[in-house]
Chain A
Amino acid sequence: MISVRVANKLDSAAALEDLRKSILARRDPNKTCVTVCNSTGCHTLGGEKVAEAFRQEMARHNLDVKVDMRVTGCHGFCERGPIVVIKPQNIFYTRVTAKDVPDIVSETLRNGKPVERLLYQDPSTGERIVHEGDVPFYKKQKRLIFGNNGNINPNIIEDYVTVGGYSALGKALAMSPDDIISEVKKSGLRGRGGAGFPTGLKWESTRRAHGDIKYVICNCDEGDPGAFMDRSLMEGNPQSVLEGMIIGAYAIGAHEGYIYIRNEYPLAVRNASIAIQQAEEFGLLGKDILGSGFDFTVEISRGGGAFVCGESTALMASLEGEVGEPKAKYVHTSERGLWDRPTNLNNVETWANVPLIINNGADWYSRMGTAGSKGTKLFALVGKINNTGLVEVPMGITLREIIYDIGGGILGGKKFKAVQTGGPSGGCIPESQLDLPVDFDELVKAGSMMGSGAMIIMDEDNCMVDIAKYFISFLEEESCGKCVPCREGIKRMREVLTDITEGRGTEGDIELLEHLSLVMRDASLCALGSTAPNPVASTIRYFRDEYEAHIKDKRCPAGVCKGLIHYYILDKCPGCGLCVKACPQQAITFVAKKQPVILDQSKCIQCGACFDACRLSSIKVE
């Protein structure tokens, strides 16, 4: 598709509306369009090759004029990528490879028929589903923030304009800053980065802070392992984030903004850079935005891969070119933040909510959700789940609905054990709490937190002590080391947990961990340290029996902790010898064909190589 450039910058909201009308008039809504997802997930699975195959195949059939092709951002259903959707019928193809493209072109594009084998098959009924919206994964979702990802090419600003982009900015620039802030306050929007601080209040205090120079920052550092919502949004719809930032900057009175992106997200960095450049060309960023007299510029700063930089003061230090160490917040960053100026920092998802609120009003927005948590929330649903992917759900939906109705239940029909929310600062929630509504306050009551939105599902094969050790080891590396409770507390916790998982646990270890948790919670400088005990405290709270089994019986019930497990060869082993080859210790001896191999426990290092090599489930772990 050829991008249409405006000759002059847009000088008013009316000029923007005229542009929207003229682009829409040029585009035929009934024209067939092939959309290919090329977000990081689908790209990894070969999305770009699929797109290239479509280009060639369509040219070969002389369809490249009659049919449009659009490379889009994330559809969320990463488990089934690469995803291809044929519009306007919305025929939804999953796990498409370059080899499938000729069939799609000849069947669907030429004859209008779906290719059966590429349609999603409902695992419970076996029925093939043609349309995206009918797939169970999408049925309970409410895709307000994420919905346009599949409709637009993130590198073409006109695409964003056709779906109503920047109409909220036009509206906001005609409002007074105070009216915008009161609208955002009324909407009940709370920060999506994790802590859930009311966005409108934050804006208000930055607006009221003294000083001529103020900043706004978009936090796209997303350090939680297992979370990739912000990345997908920045990759798939960066203009919606920019629009939110411009509205926020206008309301606050800031003229400079920064987007802080992890350098491990190269596609997000690229798409955000292109979005800024195009917004500048259109007069939506820079001097005299839409003729309103308001100036605002945005620059991108790439993070250096430090988890602590998700913390606002550490992020600001890093933006100044310093080491990312947090500061004590005696003075709020809304008064003295970046370069000691009043600074407002919000997360990617928070910014993307702003245009929705301005366009549809606070009343519309606050009708969604629970008493204390409004709107929708993005989650990365990962781990031992059938439908791995990104989901957007209304606040108040239960964890059970997310895991079973949207996520399709546990991988391989195993038994659910826990869901971990909030990343390394969050906690593990057991089966008994699955009917909990997704809500900032309810999740805290259950000993976890909303966090940025990683939701990791664990099954019976996961050891909860090992999970606690995993998060604590992660935090030990990521603690900046500035304050003692965090630096030393985490280290001690890791030592105690290592002892427990390696069979050296003693009576009193659980109590010691609980005591350490309290000290760290109360005495740490920033949220990294004060929330670090959450994974430990929550697993002790709900899975104390697993800790006791490790300490008292020297047993890991899930069969994970290396020091406490043994591998055994079952009698049904036919002696194929695959494990003999795989064993790095020569601990397994071949006897004869059709006879079980023999495993020498004194040589075994519990590496699991035999277990992975065995094709006949003839090895068990206990």
Chain B
Amino acid sequence: MDIKVKETKGQIAAILESYHHDKKWLISILQDIQGQHHYLPREALVEVSEGLKIPLSQVYSVATFFKAFSLKPRGEHTVTCCMGTACHVRGAVKVLEKLERDLGVNRGDTTANGKYTLETVNCVGACALGPIVIVDGEHSGQMTTDKVKPLLEKYS
């Protein structure tokens, strides 16, 4: 077993322990794992299934049902375009399409060089600033298509 896998095992055991191996906290446990790894690695899901004594299929059904979880590794930077109604009526679609063109990926995907993951979110509740794009947790408001390129350049 290489060091990285061992380390992951230790972290997941600690997370399971903090929830007393109680299966009612499955979603919170997956959130904590994703918080550490930015996605849900298969080995982690296997360990959760063993630790909580529930079928792996049940862990997968929850991991694939909720939007918050990703089974694929994420890029170095996460670019999130808000698609809430307030952003939509102020032109979020045009901004998202520009992001897709500039990054060369569709929503939900990661660029080939592993640099950016493009995501959408249903609403971040900062509607006064719409349309909003969030890069690594930093909000940029009142976005238009011509502001996309300078924004991405900041993270290149």
A-to-B contact residues, CB < 8 Å = 40-41, 44-45, 78-79, 81, 223-228, 231-232, 263-265, 301-307, 318-324, 380, 382-384, 388-389, 420, 423, 454, 456, 458, 462, 467, 470-471, 474, 480, 582, 584, 607-609, 612-613
Interface of B is mostly: helix
Contact A78 B126, CB 8 Å, known A44-B141, A324-B65, A462-B89 = yes
The listed residue (B28, B128, B129) touching A302 by CB distance below 8 A is B28
**Residue in B24, B139, B146 whose CB lies within 8 Å of A319:** B24
With A225-B122, A306-B67 in contact, is A78–B145 under 8 Å at CB?
no
A607 to B91: give the CA distance in the assembly, Å.
11
Which residues in A have their C-beta under 8 angstroms from that of B66?
Answer: 303-306, 324
- Give CA–CA (A470, B84) in the complex, Å: 10
* B68-A305 in contact (CB<8A): yes
Q: Which residues of A contact B101 (CB under 8 A)?
A: 584, 607
Cβ–Cβ < 8 Å partners of A319 in chain B: 24
Q: A44 and B126: CB pair below 8 A? A: yes
In the bound complex, CA of A322 to CA of B123 (Å): 24
Name the distance in Å between B137's Cβ and chain A's nearest Cβ.
Answer: 9
**Closest chain B residue to A461 by CB distance?**
B89
State the B residues within 8 Å of A (CB). 23-28, 30-31, 58, 61-62, 65-69, 83-86, 88-91, 94, 97-98, 101, 121-130, 139, 141, 144-146
Which B residues lie within 8 Å of A45 (CB)? 129, 141
Contact present for A305 and B86 (CB under 8 Å): no
| Interface-centre pick from B65, B98, B145 (highest chain A CB count, 10 A) | B65
Which of B89, B90, B94 has most chain A Cβ within 10 Å?
B89
Interchain CB contact (< 8 A) of A304 among B24, B65, B122, B146: B65
18 contacts between A and B (CB under 8 A): A45-B129, A79-B128, A224-B123, A231-B125, A302-B28, A303-B66, A304-B27, A320-B24, A323-B61, A380-B125, A384-B89, A454-B85, A462-B89, A470-B88, A607-B98, A607-B145, A609-B146, A613-B146
Contact between B28 and A226 (Cβ–Cβ < 8 Å)? no
Min C-beta distance of B12 to chain A, whole Å: 16
CA distance A388 to B131 in the complex (A): 13
Contacts of A232 in B (CB 8 A): 125
Give the docked Cα–Cα distance between A231 and B69 (Å).
21
**A362–B45 CA distance with the chains assembled, in angstroms:** 51
Partner of B89, one of A305, A467, A474: A467
Which interface residue of B58, B125, B130 has the most chain A CB atoms within 10 A? B125
Contact B31 A302 (CB under 8 A): yes
B128 and A225 within 8 A (CB): no
Smallest CB separation, B150 vs chain A (Å): 12
Judge whether A380 and B127 touch: CB under 8 Å: yes
CA distance A389 to B86 in the complex (A): 12
Contact B127 A382 (CB under 8 A): yes
Contact partner, B146, options A301, A322, A612, Cβ 8 Å: A612
In the bound complex, residues from chain B placing their C-beta under 8 Å from that of A584 are 101
Q: Is B129's CB under 8 angstroms from A226's CB?
A: no
For the complex, give the distance between the alpha carbons of A584 and B145 in Å. Answer: 11
Give Cα A324 to B31, complex, Å.
15
Which residues of chain B come closer than 8 Å to A44, judged between CB atoms?
126, 129, 139, 141
Sample of 10 further A-B pairs with CB below 8 A, known A44-B126, A226-B123, A301-B27: A228-B126, A304-B62, A304-B65, A305-B66, A382-B86, A456-B85, A462-B89, A582-B145, A607-B97, A608-B94
Residues of A within 8 A of B98 (CB): 607, 609
The 9 lowest CB-CB distance pairs between A and B, nearest first, are: A304-B66, A228-B125, A321-B26, A225-B84, A382-B86, A388-B128, A382-B127, A225-B123, A305-B67
**Residue among A41, A301, A302, A320 making CB contact with B125, cutoff 8 Å:** A41
CA distance A231 to B125 in the complex (A): 8
For B68, the closest partner residue in chain A by CB is A305
A384 neighbours in B (Cβ, 8 Å): 89-90
In whole angstroms, what is the CA distance A155 to B145 when docked?
Answer: 39
CA distance A608 to B23 in the complex (A): 49
Q: A382-B128, A456-B89 are in contact. Are A304 and B145 (CB under 8 A)?
A: no
